[in-house]
Amino acid sequence: MNPAYPHVLRTERLLLRPWRKDDYAPFAAQSADPKVMEFFPKCLDEEESERLIERIQEHFHEHGYGWWAVEVKNGPAFIGYVGLEHSNFEAPFTPAVEIGWRLGSEYWDEGYAHEAAEAVLAFGFEQIGLEEIVAFTVPANERSRGLMERLGMRYDPADDFEHPRLPDGHPLRHHVLYRLSRHQWIRKQETGDSIQVC
């Protein structure tokens, strides 16, 4: 892991931190929740959920960042994940770095995902020096698309793509892509409309 990268990102209400063993059970419960997993290919059982955490840990080891576990200061110790991941599957926009999130449904509509995602974007552009960060989902996922737009990410229908890890005819195969460049991020900071990372 690159020691220059922080292990923890802090915002006013949240800690984005390394995963702990006591995160496994609540994450498995979220991964088995049909509401949380509506726009993922399937719910995960406990073993599949644990393997996903292992892959998240490997990504951190290789790159120094990944899907951080999200904790509320003076509140729930684990509410989900938000972070960055390398997307290396075959698509017109890859290789790329993707921002993504998944929170337990009881923590929706609190602004947590937005707050954490702002911190992650700041990290990506200001500390890693990325030129672009992308996000993608299925067209029907209005909640995530709304967050992408609030983050200042731009959608162009010409960027729509078929996710190669899903088979032809799968109802979730068609994806929309949102982009945010470093230049757009800097312009956004100049407006003062951002979450402060401490």
Q: Burial level of 171, CB count in 10 A (0-12/13-18/19+)?
A: exposed
Q: Does pLDDT of 154 surpass 50?
A: yes
Please state, as a whole number, how many other Cβ atoms lie within 10 Å of the Cβ of residue 110. 14
Percent of the chain predicted with pLDDT > 70: 93
Which DSSP helix (H) or strand (E) runs through 34? Answer: none
Q: In the CATH scheme, what is the code of domain 9-190?
A: 3.40.630.30
Alpha-carbon span 49 to 31, nearest angstrom: 7
Residue 77 pLDDT grade (very low, low, confident, very high; cuts 50, 70, 90): very high
Tokens 């994940």, residue located: 81
Q: Are 152 and 180 contacting, i.e. CB atoms less than 8 angstroms apart?
A: yes
How many Cα atoms occupy the beta-carbon half-sphere of 129 within 13 Å? 1
**Mean of the per-residue pLDDT values of the chain:** 93
Report DSSP letters for 59-119, one per residue: HHHHHS--EEEEEETTS-S--EEEEEEEE-SSSTT-SEEEEEEEE-GGGTTSSHHHHHHHH
pTM, 2 dp: 0.92
What is the predicted pLDDT for the residue at 48?
98
Domain residue limits, the chain: 9-190
pLDDT at 13 over 60: yes
pLDDT of residue 51: 97
Structure confidence at residue 191 (pLDDT): 76
The DSSP code for 169 is T
132-137 vs 174-181, strand pairing mode: antiparallel
